[in-house]
Amino acid sequence: MQNVAIATDTIACLTKEQIEHYEIGIVPLRIDFDGHVYREYLDISPSEAYQLIEKDPERFVTSAASPPEILEIFRKLSRRAQSILCITVSSKLSAQHSATQLAVALAKQELPHTTIELLDSRNAAAAEGFIVLAVARAAAQGKSLIETIKTAEEVKGKIHLVMALETIRHVHRSGRIPKVAAQAGSALNIKPILTISDGLVRFAGVTRTKQRGLNRLLQMMRDEVGEQAVHVAVVHADALEEAEKLKERVSSEFNCAELWLSEFSPIMGYATGRGLLGLAFYVEG
């Protein structure tokens, strides 16, 4: 039996290969569209979900997984580990953290011999994913629960996530700007630049073209990392071809200790729309 098993949610944007390699327990969040409920990544692909957003964003509703669903993940992990560390999307962005707290309370009654710790990533997408990967790697090395939590806090303190959107049209759904402002910005074809800090999505500026937006992302990363070895993930919202080109630029322009590509969770994408490209990164060491 291993010391620590790792769990997280689908918003972490981990690849199938990463999940399988580190045996990470994944809690799928829900999408409700026109009376049909889908579990993200299981019942509906990201591409299919983005098509629903384009079809009618007002009927696209998201929700956290239920505590019993999360508890089932804990049950499975408890069969092979003494402890479980569960990392969630920022509690300021989703009810998933609160739902997981309830699941942990249930698990303490049903699984008294398994220690379960819950950590708020204060982030989302591949930035959350990098925290999960760091602790999964520590757990694979046989580190203790206390050591894996320390690893999580270290990465959590230096991770960055920057994103360039195709349109501002959906951003009002994040609660950051009024709907009328989003509509006006959409008419002007403004491309927002977003970041996440202190657990919340924040505006970092706008550009008039997508290419300028991508150049801005790369410069923001360059300002933070310089020539240092950097871990990078490229995320995209149903924009694979553009994402692959961005990944090539990152590979050629930076000293990458790690570089991977994944799809941006539609649960987050309902407030960004299709076409988003982003970079999650942190300096090695």
Both 89 and 192 in one domain: the answer is no
Both 164 and 245 in one domain: the answer is yes
Both 126 and 244 in one domain: the answer is no
Answer yes or no: is 46 within a domain.
no
Q: Which of 136, 156, 176 is the last residue of a domain?
A: 156
Nearest to 232 by CA among 157, 125, 155, 126: 126
Answer yes or no: is 268 within a domain.
yes
Q: Which of 156, 180, 206 is the last residue of a domain?
A: 156
Calculate the alpha carbon distances from 15 to 20, 79, 103, 129, 244 in Å: 9, 24, 25, 9, 15
Both 233 and 254 in one domain: the answer is yes
Q: How far apart are CA 228 and CA 69, in angstroms?
A: 41
β-strand pairing of 230-236 with 256-263: parallel
Answer yes or no: is 42 within a domain.
no
What's the full length of the chain, in residues? 285
Q: How far apart are CA 44 and CA 31, in angstroms?
A: 9
Both 189 and 105 in one domain: the answer is no
Answer yes or no: is 41 within a domain.
no
Convert the pLDDT of each residue in 60-76 to its tens digit. Answer: 999 999 999 999 999 99
Convert the pLDDT of each residue in 121-137 to its tens digit. Answer: 999 999 999 999 999 99
Tokens 């995320």 -> residue: 235
Q: What is the pTM of this model?
A: 0.93
Q: Domain containing 183: what range?
A: 160-283
Answer yes or no: is 218 within a domain.
yes
Q: Which of 124, 156, 188 is the last residue of a domain?
A: 156
Both 165 and 146 in one domain: the answer is no
Number of domains in the chain: 2
Report residues of the chain scoring pLDDT below 70. 168-189
Strand ranges (E), 137-189: 160-164
Answer yes or no: is 58 within a domain.
no
Both 245 and 199 in one domain: the answer is yes
pLDDT of residue 189: 61
Both 106 and 73 in one domain: the answer is yes
Both 167 and 143 in one domain: the answer is no
pLDDT of residue 15: 96
pLDDT of residue 241: 97
Q: Which CATH number goes with the domain that contains 193?
A: 3.30.1180.10
Both 21 and 139 in one domain: the answer is yes
Both 6 and 128 in one domain: the answer is yes
pLDDT of residue 218: 98
pLDDT of residue 201: 85
Nearest to 164 by CA among 136, 224, 116, 205: 205
Q: Which CATH number goes with the domain that contains 80?
A: 3.40.50.10440
Answer yes or no: is 236 within a domain.
yes
CB burial of residue 45 (10 Å; 0-12, 13-18, 19+): middle
Answer yes or no: is 77 within a domain.
yes
Both 150 and 170 in one domain: the answer is no
